[in-house]
Amino acid sequence: MTKDSPSARERIVAGAADMISRRGLNATSIRETAKHASAPLGSTYHYFPEGKQQLVTEAVRHTGEWTARSLRKELQAGPVAGLQAFLALWRKIVVDSDFRAGCPVLAVSIEEPAPGETSAVLTAAADVFATWEGLLADSLREHGAEPERAANLATLIVAAVEGTVAMCRAKRSAEPFDRTAEELRALILAAVGD
Amino acid sequence: MTKDSPSARERIVAGAADMISRRGLNATSIRETAKHASAPLGSTYHYFPEGKQQLVTEAVRHTGEWTARSLRKELQAGPVAGLQAFLALWRKIVVDSDFRAGCPVLAVSIEEPAPGETSAVLTAAADVFATWEGLLADSLREHGAEPERAANLATLIVAAVEGTVAMCRAKRSAEPFDRTAEELRALILAAVGD
DNA sequence: GGTAGACTATGACAATTGTTATAGAGCAGA
DNA sequence: TCTGCTCTATAACAATTGTCATAGTCTACC
């Protein structure tokens, strides 16, 4: 084993991220996340005393870090390779789940927070998006893209990938992935001066 | 008046679309849509005897047609103008709602349908996306874009806009809109041979 | 006036939700 | 063995959900 078997707490977080990516935030109940992780309901409130908000926030961050790790690694081979890997990662999640799973960060981004309250969940999602954009933008700049354009392109890439994931789920087809992949690839190649 | 005052049925559908765009599909209850439209709960099941699925499906189609109408009109001034209008339309919804509203079509696309069942809601969402893509692709082709590229670009645009809406909500900032707008504009200009 | 059909009002149903409380198990170290 | 701590088990709570049933009101047409 290269890794410890995950603790119950980690299983709950990862399971919650998966369930949110499939059913959305509000359709994901604490009872079911516990069952999904073979953990008792009581334990969930032991590990996450602030309740659902805390669990969901950690699930978002967990997905964000997991994806950022992959992105960081693949970007070492350049921005085009990084983009391809980023796309492939999400494509695999969508296709392997038979178009039932998507991105939990997107999922939590589209639910209104309670009035007045700037939900911690939404803040976590914004941080995740910013992290992904930062990684992409840095790589683009390192490979010759103009600084401001690099930021624009990074935002476009993240937005397009998130949107594509949702479109593929609705259409039950991976075709949108291939379309956006082609265009984004050409766009990056042109921006870094090939 | 240039228009009839909307019927109760229309008010319910439009209100449901708005609520879904804010809170997501599962957090939008039939009781609250009725209240929001000042219609009694009983009426909702009178107008939509198939229940929530029917109401939501109509809400998605309603948003799709409303947007397509605007898109069709603005595309008469060319694909760049159409893109700008498409972006401006969603930007206005997001900003005017203080980052609380988004796209209901996206919202319903990220909730898992019941096992085995290919939900009518998801099919409606896929149709809406396809319609928007078709309008954009046709316009691009008419203005000189290569046919296959036009389809790719149309998918990229819709995906990027949907993703950008979600990102703006998470960040509580309209900046992503401006970033993607700039890049998409340049991309289209290049594709139609300016 | 009267009758049919469209709409409303009201209440109930089983199920599920987030959360809290309380008591118990299991095991570490003194 | 006793103590303290982490974790589990179980039950309960008020609220909300989609849906259905039933009886009532209103309005248009004969």
DSSP B14-71: HHHHHHHHHH-STT--HHHHHHHTT--HHHHHHH-TTTHHHHHHHHHHHHHHHHHHHH
Interchain proximity A122–B27, CB inside 8 Å: no
- Whether CB of A42 is under 7 Å from strand D: the answer is yes
Of chain A, the percentage scoring pLDDT greater than 90 comes to: 90
Of chain B, the percentage scoring pLDDT greater than 90 comes to: 90
Shortest Cα–Cα distance, B2 to chain A (Å):
34
Nucleotides of D under 7 A from a protein CB: 6-11, 16-23
> d(Cα A125, Cα A72) in Å, to the nearest integer?
18
Q: Are A9 and A47 in contact (CB under 8 A)?
A: yes
Using a 10 angstrom Cβ sphere, with 0-12 exposed, 13-18 middle and 19 or more buried, the burial of residue B94 is buried
- What's the DSSP call for residue A3? S
pLDDT at A2 over 50: no
For A19-46, give one letter per residue: b (16+ CB within 10 A) or e: bbbbbbbbbbebeebbebbebeeeebbe
User: Which residues on A lie below 8 Å from B23 (Cβ)?
Assistant: 26, 111-112
> d(Cα B39, Cα B12) in Å, to the nearest integer?
7
Calculate mean pLDDT across residues A113-133: 89
User: Which residues on B lie below 8 Å from A156 (Cβ)?
Assistant: 160, 179-180, 183-184
Using CA atoms, how far residue B187 sits from A11, A100, B61, in Å, is 43, 32, 29
Shortest Cα–Cα distance, A28 to chain B (Å):
10
pLDDT band at B193 (very low <50, low <70, confident <90, very high): confident
Give kind and range of the element (H or E) at residue B150.
Answer: helix B147-171
Shortest Cα–Cα distance, B116 to chain A (Å):
11
pLDDT at position B39: 92
Calculate mean pLDDT across residues A44-72: 97
CA B77 to chain centre: 21
Averaged pLDDT of chain B: 94
DSSP A17-57: HHHHHHH-STT--HHHHHHHTT--HHHHHHH-TTTHHHHHH
pLDDT at A1 over 90: no
List of residues 6+ apart from B167 with CB closer than 8 A: A109, A129, A155, A158, A159, A162, B176
pLDDT at B112 over 90: no
Calculate mean pLDDT across residues A19-34: 96
Q: Is 1.10.357.10 the CATH classification of the domain at A8-191? A: yes
Residue of A nearest to B172 (CA): A126
Q: Which of A23, A118, A167 sits opposite B158 (nearest CB)?
A: A167
pLDDT at A117 over 90: no
Q: Which nucleotide is nearest to B45 (CA to C1')?
A: D19
Residue of A nearest to B99 (CA): A112
Separation in Å: D22 C1' and B43 CA: 15
Convert the pLDDT of each residue in B135-186 to its tens digit.
999 999 999 999 999 999 999 999 999 999 999 999 999 999 999 999 999 9
pLDDT at A132 over 50: yes
Shortest Cα–Cα distance, A40 to chain B (Å):
25
pLDDT band at B126 (very low <50, low <70, confident <90, very high): very high
Interchain proximity B110–A106, CB inside 8 Å: yes
pLDDT at position B6: 76
Footprint of strand C on the protein (CB under 7 A): A 28-32, 41-42, 45, 51-53; B 8, 39-43, 46-47
Residue closest to sugar C1' of D20 by CA: B45
* Among the ranges given (A14-28, A111-125, B11-25, B140-154), the one the predictor scored with the smallest mean pLDDT: A111-125
Residue closest to sugar C1' of D16 by CA: B29
Residue of A nearest to B125 (CA): A170
Interchain proximity A109–B151, CB inside 8 Å: no
Q: Which residue has the higher pLDDT, A112 or A55?
A: A55
pLDDT at A158 over 70: yes
pLDDT at B131 over 70: yes
Averaged pLDDT of chain A: 94
Residue of A nearest to B179 (CA): A152
pLDDT at position A4: 57
**B60-191, superfamily in CATH?**
Tetracycline Repressor, domain 2 (1.10.357.10)
Convert the pLDDT of each residue in B1-29 to its tens digit.
334 567 889 999 999 999 999 999 999 99
pLDDT at position B2: 37
Q: Which residue has the higher pLDDT, A2 or B166?
A: B166
